Amino acid sequence: MLEIKFNEEGLVPVIAQDYRTGEVRMLAYANEEAIKKTLETGYAHYYSRSRKKLWKKGETSGELQRVKEVRIDCDGDAVIYVIEQEKNRACHTGERNCFYRDIEGNKVEKPLPFEVLPRLEEVIKERIEKLPEGSYTTKLVKSGKERVFQKFGEEAVETLIALMKGNKKEIISETADMLYSLIVSLSVSGVEIKEVMEELARRFK
């Protein structure tokens, strides 16, 4: 707390960054009390400049932000809440994050590369839950776990062959197919990609 440089109004900008996907969910402001409440409760608290009061994100909407970590930038004048967005919609408009438009005002649909695997997992989980007609994931999952795992094995072999051939375009395409099959396999096994990444992070020295 001593390292945070609050502005003349006693506020500091706070970025909410998603723990799972890495995406920036929102930007708000916090005063010292909001930071303390966040650290005490484990849930994101901010200060409303318009209402002049402390607020807990999601208290009325249910869109709570569980705070995994609080980070301070090199100058001490900005803060990041590393959060888990409990209902996956951070923006008051109903969008998953507040930065859903480009500079021309068009809605951005395409995820950034670092978001792709966890965002793909979201889609796959939804397909597994709802089993929509016409979905390849639905067809694959309905064929049973053994077929799901077999499909991953087939894609892994095709990726290996592409690597041995050394054709970059084929390597990229086959690896993308393999990663899709891997996430389907993990999902039907009750394993989240986040848990795999956490294990890799644990291995960092």
pLDDT at 200 over 90: yes
Q: Is the pLDDT of residue 183 over 80?
A: yes
Note the pLDDT tens digit of each residue in 42-78.
999 999 999 999 999 999 999 999 999 999 999 999 9
| Arch. (CATH architecture) of 1-109 | Roll (3.10)
Residue 134, burial from CB neighbour count under 10 angstroms (0-12, 13-18, 19+): exposed
Q: At the top level of CATH, which class does the domain 113-202 belong to?
A: mainly alpha
Domains 1-109 and 113-202 share a fold: no
Domain ranges for the chain: 1-109, 113-202
Rounded to two decimals, what is the model's pTM? 0.91
